[in-house]
A = this chain, B = another copy of it.
């Protein structure tokens, strides 16, 4: 697979086969993810692997509850458009994915979002290159329950940046419409 083909075959996958991804593969992918550049070579990313559907369901329920409470308190919340979906009890924000990898790092670090997004991008491509699918699921990041935070091993000073589901795609959707990238100016 050429790089160009790989870029075109990476899709956000929301439909997975009922097949676990081996820990060895996930760890190899995390190693590749950590080859990403970071501001001042800080490498602030940390990882949590959840390779258990029951735990994924628990995290989904916790996150849905907290986002719905947030929307109730602020009708201008940017996730307002997802309210109906989140109110559906059978909706799992992680779809039927067998695995979740959480990328997180120290809260308040100036370039944390950018650095973890770069690592996330490497991770998602590392998946594509292995025939695996991913989807970055922001709706799964709202974990407030102290017991769950402890169970997941999230340190006090850390915040979740990228919850990424992972698995073997049951169906690869077609490429969604892309706008032509807007080049505002060419100086030469």
Contact = CB atoms under 8 A, between A and B. Distances in A.
Size range of the chain A interface in the assembly: 35 or more
Interface of chain A: mostly helix, strand, loop or mixed: mixed
Nearest to A42: B179
Interface in A136-186: 136, 138, 151-155, 161, 176, 178-186
A132 to B, nearest CB: 12
A151 B185 CA distance: 9
A78 interface: yes
A41 interface: yes
15 contacts: A3-B126, A3-B129, A8-B35, A37-B124, A39-B138, A43-B178, A45-B181, A46-B181, A46-B183, A48-B185, A49-B185, A113-B113, A114-B161, A152-B185, A155-B184
